[in-house]
Amino acid sequence: MKALVIGGGGREHALAWKLSQAPSIEAVYASPGNAGIALDVSCIPGVANDPAEMAALAETLGVDFTVVGPEAPLVAGVVDAFRAKGLPIVGPTQAAAQLEASKVFCKRFLEEFHIPTAAAETVETVEELDAALDRIGVPVALKADGLAAGKGVILADDLETAKAEGRRLLSGEAVGAAGQRLLVEQFLVGREVSFIVLSDGRSTFEFRATQDHKAAFDGDKGPNTGGMGAYCVDSILSDDLRKVVMDTIIEPSLAGMRSRGAAFQGFLYCGLMMTDDGPQVLEYNARMGDPETQPLLYRMNGDFGELLASAARGALDPSLVGWSDGATACVVMASGGYPGEYEKGKLITGVAQANATGAKVFHAGTMLREGKLVTSGGRVLGVTAAGPDLAAALSGAYRAVEKISFDGVQYRSDIGSKGLAQKS
């Protein structure tokens, strides 16, 4: 089979690389891809967010199926465009992707189907904001309704900050139109877990649970980012809790979308808070996580191509892949200043030496300039390694990280430390 991956970040590198390893796959294309993806598969320039262009590309290439990495093409309707032409694709329709595109839609959906989540009010004016804050109190989570590239959630400990940040969101100053409607949400306390399933609308394949690290700096300090590292080990979610999550959250969500005539086909990513009252939904994403995909696919056995092809056909067969024992870990190397302003075009050295340690360096924001690898984004590389346990996977990843350098490089040195503490 031939496959097309839409997107060009670290998650898409992992998707394309894993597909290229699958016995059933003879060719993989990525559009637009990036400099690192081009080392593993064929990259084709293109605008990922243009549904008609992507559908035409899939037709020209004659691929057997397409898989979508990021949320923006989904929200733009790429799956609808493919379906209209009868082209097999893995991903939710524009209607189903609303679970990620609108936090207000998602919250009302969770409430309608009695799926555990924090109580929240929707506000559109400063007066409504202040009244909701008085009722809900602090600490509080303020969430812009629309897509805001990870910058739309503010956690405030005191009322003054909550009022000021809420005003910045509502006025459009913080994240533009995405903040014109807000959720004012009760603050939840607990351990965060990323849990992803692949669904064809009816059957599901459960990925292992992973742990992301959203804050920019060690000790969970600093601003929220897209994710500075992730790991995958079975101790993150016990079998008992996994069953609770499937029974009380995932299955009712898939059934709810079906009953609304917007069956969810594709990757459903559930951001969970494990509270004293049980697992609660923090957010839904309509795609795999980045960087969660890197340690997940690095741990996967079996034919990922067959799995995705079966999902695209609407006949998902979860037995096509499995998991190796042990653990995997991914450390993100970012540009200095990320998630704020940062410079691009910094020369990257040591990637080959890092890969030679047995780790896999997934590229997120890299490009070639005069034949040399340089930085081109906030998150630059995702250095991923496996081991018999979490400690070994982490030391493998950090050993490889030490081989790589570029001007201003920034990474967390404590990825996985909570997981190590949890085990002991």
Least spacing, CB of residue 107 vs ligand AMP, in Å: 10
Contact 375, 334 (CB under 8 A): no
With binding defined as CB under 6 A, does residue 272 bind ligand AMP?
Answer: no
12 binds ligand GLY (CB under 6 A): no
- Segment 81-100, which members bind ligand GLY (CB under 6 A)? none
> Does 212 contact ligand GLY by CB under 6 A?
yes
Q: Which does 227 bind (CB under 5 to 8 A by kind): ligand AMP, ligand GLY, none?
A: ligand GLY
Contacts to ligand GLY from residues 289-348, by CB under 6 A: 289-290, 292
| Separation between Cα atoms, residue 129 and residue 163, nearest integer Å | 8
Dist CA 15 CA 269 (whole Å): 15
Which residue, among 251, 94, 255, 128, has the nearest Cα to 105 in the 3D structure? 94
Backbone angles phi, psi at 318, to 5 degrees: -65, -10
Give yes or no for residue 378 binding ligand GLY (CB under 6 A): no
- What DSSP assignment string belongs to 187-240? ---SEEEEEEEEEESS-EEEPPPBEE--EEEGGGEEEE-S-SEEEE-GGGS-HH
Best CA proximity match to 291, nearest among 338, 231, 208: 231
Q: Using CB under 6 A, which of 30, 68, 99, 118 touches ligand AMP?
A: 118
Half-sphere exposure of 284 (CA within 13 A, CB side): 30
Contact flag: residue 71 with ligand GLY (CB under 6 A): no
Q: Which does 290 bind (CB under 5 to 8 A by kind): ligand AMP, ligand GLY, none?
A: ligand GLY
- Identity of the residue numbered 164: A
271 binds ligand AMP (CB under 6 A): yes
Among 36, 226, 295, 387, binds ligand GLY (CB under 6 A): 226
Residue 78, φ and ψ in degrees, nearest 5: -65, -35
227 binding ligand GLY? (CB under 6 A): yes
Measured from the CB of residue 124, what is the shortest distance to ligand AMP in angstroms? 19
Q: Which residues bind ligand AMP (CB under 6 A)?
A: 118, 141, 143, 153, 155, 185, 187-188, 192, 214, 224, 271, 282-283
